[in-house]
Structure 1
Amino acid sequence: MTAAHTEHAGHTHAHGEGCGHVAVPHGDHVDYVHEGHLHRAHDGHYDECEADAHVPHQGHEHAHGEGCGHVAVPHGDHVDYLHDGHRHAVHGDHYDDH
């Protein structure tokens, strides 16, 4: 999956271990939950880490929600859940892989 390169302008906070934001492992890097969205360090600035395509997670039998045992990550107007190294978001009758 690829992500759009959208720079988060004016971001002065340095994310990293102990910075106070939830770290979300994501492939070959770590995203940080900040102000309801995800940031990724990139060439001296931070990008908004957003999927640029609709990617359904096939064969997902688990129902995410309060008390499901997975970390809830506020993300814009919804909540993603960390599961097996990626984020799942409810989308209609299935989950999307973020």
Structure 2
Amino acid sequence: MTTLHHEHPTHEHAHGPACGHQEVPHGDHVDYAHDGHLHRRHGDHWDECEPSGHAAHERHEHQHGEGCGHTGVPHGDHVDYLHDGHRHAAHDGHWDDH
């Protein structure tokens, strides 16, 4: 699965460890949850960090939700859950890797 390059053109806020936004480990970088989407540094600007395609997380029996023990991150019209270094999102009766 690849990540689309979608620049966030009017983003003047500098994310970092003390910026106040949820840090989300994502592969080889860190995303920051901000205004319902995720930002990642890309050179001298910030991108929306959105996967392309559909990647179902196979054999995931744990049910995420309030009180499940995993951090929820608002993401657009749903909540992703941080689990084992990636984000899980509910999708049609299974969990996707975001």
Please indicate the TM-score interval, normalised by the length of the shorter structure. Answer: over 0.9
What secondary structure, in the 3-state scheme, does the structure 2 residue paired with 1:57 have? Answer: coil
Q: CA–CA distance in 1 between the matches of 2:37 and 2:72?
A: 13
5+ unaligned residues in a row in structure 1: which ranges? Answer: none
Which residue is equivalent to 2:92? Answer: 92
Task: Give how far 1:11 is off.
Answer: 0.3
Which residue is equivalent to 1:10? Answer: 10
4+ residue runs of structure 1 moved beyond 2 angstroms?
Answer: none
Task: Give how far 1:2 is off.
Answer: 1.3
TM-score by length of 1: 0.98
Q: CA–CA distance in 2 between the matches of 1:2 and 1:70?
A: 24
Which residue is equivalent to 2:79? Answer: 79
Q: Once the two structures are superposed, what CA deviation does each residue of 1:26-56 show, in whole Å capped at 9, x if it has no partner?
A: 1110000000000000010000000101000
Q: Once the two structures are superposed, what CA deviation does each residue of 1:50-82 show, in whole Å capped at 9, x if it has no partner?
A: 010100000001000000000000000000000
Which residue is equivalent to 1:54? Answer: 54
Q: Which amino acid aligns with 2:52?
A: D
Which residue is equivalent to 1:67? Answer: 67
Q: CA–CA distance in 2 between the matches of 1:66 and 1:23?
A: 19
Q: Name the % identity.
A: 69
Superposed CA RMSD in Å reads: 0.5
**Count of paired positions:** 98
TM-score by length of 2: 0.98
